[in-house]
Amino acid sequence: MNATAPRFLFVSFDGLRPDLVSPQLTPNICRLQSLGVTLSEHRTVYPSETRSAFPSLVTGATTDRHGMVGNKYIDRSVAPPRYIDTADAVLLRTLDLESGGRLMSAPTLGEILAASGKTLAVLATNTPGTTRFFHHKAEDVGHVRLSGHFREACTPSEVLTDAEQRIGPLPPEPPKIEPDKVGQDWITSAFLNLVWPKHRPDVTILSYGEPDVTSHFHGTGAEATRGIIAYCDRQFGRLLDWWAAEGRAAGVQIIAVSDHGHITGHTRVNVADCLRDAGFRPGTAPAPDVDVVVVPGQVGALYLADPTDEQIARLVAAITEVPWCGPVFTRAKNERDGIASGSLGKHLVFADHVRAPDVSFSFRADDRADSFGLVGGTFYDNGRRTGLGVHGGLHPKELSALGIVAGSAFPEAGSISTIPSGICDFAPTVLHLLEIGRPLTMTGRVLQELFATGAAALPQVHSDTFEAKLGKFRQVLRRVHVADAIYAASGTAEG
């Protein structure tokens, strides 16, 4: 192995809106900005859900390539179809084994690194399933994956034992209404006191599961959420201190990311009731008396028992008549339209996979400010009160994500890149810097503008817009192209 090859430390803050980064709240993230390059036009994928976005981080691919079409989906590869909640790490392992290793439809960073004799370590306080998604084959290649709470997501067992002996017992997951501080401390200490000094991974993903959970239960700008953001920032400060003292000299590049932003739920609705009023028999899982499954979540995922063109058109006609319906996508009729009038083709948002729902929609969002002064509000469908953080759709604040890079590979310290970028771009960029070939499944691009100089290094940027109408309903999708990469920029609806 080349002794001078760079190493990489990804640090993720789940659900952190970039516009919440400030010297007062996040001084250490701001310290990284002064040392590196801030990606000011950075975005996640659609749907803007954690367990679609983080698979995109490690595959360098959109959801149509890696197959994780949402936090939850209906698996039609078996009879009868089954409801899958990807938060369950044990279930994900079972699905991977049952499918002959094809849980993910694209190779992941951990697999690619292992094939080149390099290692990926994961430390995360996210759900067990999200933790597994960062490197779902870690046990197969002997790499380290540690959860800050869940033993079923940890491997190898001897590394977990070593960590508990050095740091303390694996802390239990706190109640959802309590910000998770102890878990963030545990994984930070595990990296600093064990994983780095003993295992020296070529790439590390350290993922703080906050502020996402606290935003969901307290509000994106609430005091509790700002408190956990500041706490995670202090943990990140420990990593920056290590980097200044040791990591940077060892060739470590730091990449700070988030997987999506949050907007505020202002009006609660019930999708199932609306479909029932339209003559459907909805349910939350496949059953003999259910003709349309409404997958729970902020992204509307509708699976028909009989997904004919006529039934899909009937379903789209029903939801586009109600005020909560935002952008709607169905399988493609042509290069723009979906097969149902009023819908756009789901290939336009890179959501066309065999697991994808028959009808995907986002709840209608707007730019109103919430009680904390944060822009972005939406209809939503869950049992929580109004005023709390949600995500999954196509509002720019949901799609906006943190992106900062620093290290010897990125010489423009303290600079800001205004070239659009996305979560799929990091894996190909890392492979490029490690001189490892990238698979054809990757849809992201190498961020050449971050380590090349001169005007010739700047890629070409252009945009496109797509529109669909049905009666009074009108939706508009906007995308941005940079070289061969395409990013969803926003989706709106009215009428």
Q: What does the pLDDT look like over 16-47, one tens digit per residue?
A: 999 999 999 999 999 999 999 999 999 999 99
- State the pLDDT at residue 454: 60
pLDDT at 428 over 90: yes
Q: Amino acid identity of 456? A: A
Q: Any bridge partners for residue 302, and if so which?
A: 294, 359
What would the mean pLDDT of 166-175 be, rounded to a whole number?
A: 97
Contact 368, 266 (CB under 8 A): yes
Intra-chain end-to-end CA distance of the chain, in Å: 60
- State the pLDDT at residue 190: 98
- State the pLDDT at residue 456: 61
pLDDT at 297 over 90: no
- State the pLDDT at residue 2: 47
What does the alpha-carbon distance between residue 362 and residue 299 come to, in Å, rounded to a whole number? 5
| 3 state SS of 273 | helix
Contact 29, 241 (CB under 8 A): no
pLDDT at 439 over 50: yes
Spans of all domains in the chain:
7-263+396-450, 265-388+463-494
- State the pLDDT at residue 305: 97
What would the mean pLDDT of 392-418 be, rounded to a whole number?
A: 96
User: Where do we find the tokens 């709607």?
Assistant: 328
DSSP string, 213-271: HHHHHH-TTSHHHHHHHHHHHHHHHHHHHHIIIIITTTTEEEEEE-S---EEEEEE--H
What would the mean pLDDT of 185-206 be, rounded to a whole number?
A: 98
- State the pLDDT at residue 144: 98
pLDDT higher at 115 or 451: 115
pLDDT-derived band at 178 (thresholds 50, 70, 90) equals: very high
What does the alpha-carbon distance between residue 196 and residue 219 come to, in Å, rounded to a whole number? 35
pLDDT-derived band at 453 (thresholds 50, 70, 90) equals: low
Contact 68, 51 (CB under 8 A): yes
What would the mean pLDDT of 430-455 be, rounded to a whole number?
A: 91
The C-alpha angle with vertex 30 and arms to 28 and 33, in degrees rounded to 5, equals 120
What does the alpha-carbon distance between residue 397 and residue 70 come to, in Å, rounded to a whole number? 18
pLDDT at 462 over 50: yes
Record the tokens describing residue 254, joined without a space.
């730091």
- Read off the pLDDT of residues 108-124 as tens digits, 9 standing for 90 and up: 999 999 999 999 999 99
- In this structure, the number of other CB atoms found within 10 A of the CB of residue 160 comes to 19
- State the pLDDT at residue 1: 37
- Computed over every residue of the chain, the mean pLDDT equals 96
User: Where do we find the tokens 């707007």?
Assistant: 366
- Read off the pLDDT of residues 46-83 as tens digits, 9 standing for 90 and up: 999 999 999 999 999 999 999 999 999 999 999 999 99
Q: Does this model's pTM top 0.95? A: yes
CA distances from residue 12 to 188, 261, 291 in whole angstroms, order as listed: 12, 12, 39
Alpha helices in 67-211 (DSSP H): 89-98, 109-115, 128-134, 138-141, 157-167, 182-190
- Ramachandran region of residue 414, left (φ > 0), alpha (ψ -120 to 50) or beta? left
pLDDT at 395 over 80: yes
- State the pLDDT at residue 4: 78
Please state the length of the chain: 495
* Cα pseudo-dihedral 347, 349, 352, 357, rounded to 10: -130
Assigned fold of 7-263+396-450: Alkaline Phosphatase, subunit A (3.40.720)
- State the pLDDT at residue 455: 57
Closest CA to 394 of 485, 326, 317, 474: 326
Q: Any bridge partners for residue 406, and if so which?
A: 254
Instruction: Please give the share of the chain, as a percent, with pLDDT higher than 70.
Output: 98
- Read off the pLDDT of residues 321-377 as tens digits, 9 standing for 90 and up: 999 999 999 999 999 999 999 999 999 999 999 999 999 999 999 999 999 999 999
- The sheet carrying 359-363 orders its strands as 282-283, 292-295, 299-304, 359-363, 325-330, 344-345
Q: Cis before residue 459, ω within 30 degrees of 0?
A: no
